[in-house]
Amino acid sequence: MTTDKQIIDRLEQGFAGSSTAFDTDGRLHGRLAALAERQGLLDVSYCTIDSPLGQLLLVATGKGLVRVAFSREDHDSVLSRLARDISPRILRTPRRLDEPARQLEEYFAGKRRAFTVQVDLRLARGFRRSVLLRLRDIPYGKTQSYAAVAKAAGNASAVRAAASACSHNPLPLVVPCHRVVRSDGTLGEYLGGAGAKRTLLSMEAAD
Amino acid sequence: MTAPRQRAAQPFEELVAEHGALVMRVCRALVGPVDAADAWSETFFSALQAYPRLPAGSNIRGWLVTIAHRKAIDQLRGAARRPEPARELPELAVAEPASADDDDELRAALDALPLKQRGAVIYRYLAELSYAEVGELLGSNATAARRSAADGIASLRKRLSKGTS
């Protein structure tokens, strides 16, 4: 005799699909992302890549790379904040981040000195944004003081604000805030941690 | 809780990860294995479209299942022969794998149920919605939904016991 319980169990198992794990090959997800992109509904795409500094989160809008995050920033909470600040229409779409991923890989392999990817600086406003724009002028292997950066950004007395702009840089590595150090030569804060900053500077100096 | 938020703000990717499998189960039960992938894609595409306007604190699972329900009705009625997004759906690189372990006997028994019972069984037991939510979805109420689900299960049991005993 069949019981109700057996019928319910059979229902639950009967429609699980041909594999117990769902969409393991990502075909459905890929199709959804492609459709969303085609219809202009993919507001934010992201992927993660491995690097000598640990896993990096790369995030882009239709305008360009908008955020690079170290794992110590907690990728999930970074994405939650972007959902609030930009749009919750966020999907994992590595293909849209192929170019920045490739350039970062080349950079870590010592084969690239400057990034040419489109960036979207919408997460930085006002003076912070001016600071970030100046940072792109500091060449590979060189450093500048926070005071010099403040001056270049148009406000020589705003050294603290310049330091704060660097430590809140939404695009570390690509916008090279790691090349800004204190006037006394000590490193100063870094989103990826002091160790990461040291690693990057010695990597660039060795070249 | 911080300041009250008017709109849902969880990254959509998390919705797909959390509810994708459940929505697929519901789609398979509603429209069968062949059309399930299309129903799933249309459901999540519509959801992505509407998502920024979804009020904060909404029951995401209930919302997704409601969309799947509407998509399934469209497909079953063949009303609009292909709803708008479907025409844009990129072809799947490979056909949906042959569903060897799909339960054909169960599928036939489920298809034979009256619509209300079928919906009640699927939304209660596969989508795990409350009777109140099932009632709302089917345009009735919790009491009616509970009765439809019970009748549906009883009728499935009758049909499925025949062959096995």
- Residue A80 pLDDT grade (very low, low, confident, very high; cuts 50, 70, 90): very high
Q: What is the pLDDT of residues B88-122, one digit of tens each?
A: 555 554 444 445 456 778 888 988 999 899 999 99
With beta carbons under 8 A apart, name residues in chain A contacting B4. Answer: none
Handedness of CA B112, B115, B117, B123 (dihedral sign): positive
B35 min Cα distance to partner chain A (Å): 13
Return the CATH number at B144. 1.10.10.10
Residue A187 lies in a domain: yes
Residue corresponding to tokens 């916008």: A175
Asked if residue B156 belongs to a domain, the reply is: yes
Mean pLDDT lowest among A42-46, A86-90, A156-160: A156-160
Range with the poorest average pLDDT among A32-46, A112-126, A161-175, B75-89: B75-89
State the CATH number of the domain containing residue A76.
3.30.160
In whole angstroms, what separates CA A142 from the centre of its chain?
23
Check residue B123 and report its DSSP letter.
I
pLDDT of res. B1: 46
Q: By the CB < 8 Å criterion, does B106 face chain A?
A: yes
Q: Are B52 and A79 within 8 A, CB to CB?
A: no
Contacting residues of A for B157, CB less than 8 Å apart: 2-4, 7
Give mean pLDDT, residues A8-36.
82
pLDDT at B98: 47
Count: domains in chain A = 2
Share of chain B above pLDDT 70, in %: 79
**Residue B57: per-residue pLDDT:** 87
pLDDT at B164 over 70: no
- What is the nearest CA distance from A127 to chain B, expressed in angstroms? 27
d(CA A155, CA A157): 6
Q: Is the pLDDT of residue B81 over 60?
A: no
Question: Is the per-residue pLDDT at A165 higher than 80?
Answer: yes
**B34 part of contact set with chain A, CB < 8 Å:** no
pLDDT over 60 at B38, yes or no: yes
Note whether A193 and A149 are same-domain residues.
yes
Give the model's pLDDT for residue A187: 84
* β-sheet bridge partners, residue B55: B7
First to last CA, chain B: 56
Q: A-B interface: how many C-beta pairs under 8 angstroms?
A: 133
**Across all residues in chain B, what is the average pLDDT?**
83
The partner residue sitting opposite B153, judged by closest CB among A1, A4, A15, is: A4
Share the mean pLDDT of chain A. 92
Predicted local confidence at residue B133, as pLDDT? 94
pLDDT of residue B34: 83
- The boundaries of the domain holding residue A151 are 126-206
B36 shares a domain with B72: yes
**Strand, helix or coil for residue A132:** helix
Residue B165 pLDDT greater than 70, yes or no: no
CATH of the domain at A132: 1.10.10.10
Domain shared by A202 and A130, yes or no: yes
C-alpha span between A155 and B17 (Å, rounded): 47
R_g over Cα of chain B: 17
Of the candidate ranges A17-31, A171-185, B118-132, the one whose mean pLDDT is the lowest: A17-31
Asked if pLDDT for residue A21 goes beyond 80, the answer is: no
Q: How many residues does chain A have?
A: 207
**Contact (CB<8Å) A7/B153:** yes
Q: Where among B96, B119, B151 does a domain terminate? A: B96
Residue A137 above 70 pLDDT? yes
Query: Which residues form the domain of B118?
Result: 103-165
Tokens standing for A24? 């393991």
| Residue A70 to chain B, least CA–CA distance (Å) | 19
- Cβ(B22)–Cβ(B128) below 8 Å: yes
In degrees to the nearest 10, what's the CA dihedral of A114, A119, A123, A129?
60
Task: Kindly state the average pLDDT of the residues A136-142.
Answer: 94
Band (A24; pLDDT cuts 50, 70, 90): confident
Q: Are B4 and B46 in contact (CB under 8 A)?
A: no
Question: Of the candidates A60, A79, A108, which is a domain's last residue?
Answer: A108
Mutation target to probe the A interface, by most A beta carbons within 10 A, among B42, B48, B49 is B48
**What was the pLDDT predicted at A152?**
94
> Which pair of tokens denotes residue A160?
């603290």
A36 close to B45: Cβ distance less than 8 angstroms = yes
Q: Does B147 lie in the same domain as B164?
A: yes
Which of A108, A134, A161 is where one domain is finished? Answer: A108
- For tokens 């025949």, what's the residue? B162
The C-alpha angle with vertex A147 and arms to A142 and A152, in degrees rounded to 5, equals: 75
**Does residue B81 share a domain with residue B11?**
yes
Mean pLDDT score, A95-118: 96
Say which of A41, A44, A88 has its CB closest to residue B10: A88
Give mean pLDDT, residues A87-97: 95
Tokens of A83: 């959902």
Q: Which of A177, A191, A200, A201 is catalytic?
A: A177
Residue with the two structure tokens 């006394």: A184
Residue A131 lies in a domain: yes
Mean pLDDT, residues A61-74? 96
Q: At A142, which amino acid appears?
A: K
Which stretches does DSSP call E strand in A71-109? 90-92
Indicate whether A101 and A131 sit together in one domain. no
pLDDT category at A17 given cuts 50, 70, 90 is low
Q: Which of residues 38-67 of A touch B (CB under 8 A)?
A: 38-39, 41, 44, 46
Determine what percent of chain B falls in helix, strand and coil, rounding each to the nearest 5: 70, 0, 30
Give the per-residue pLDDT at A9: 87
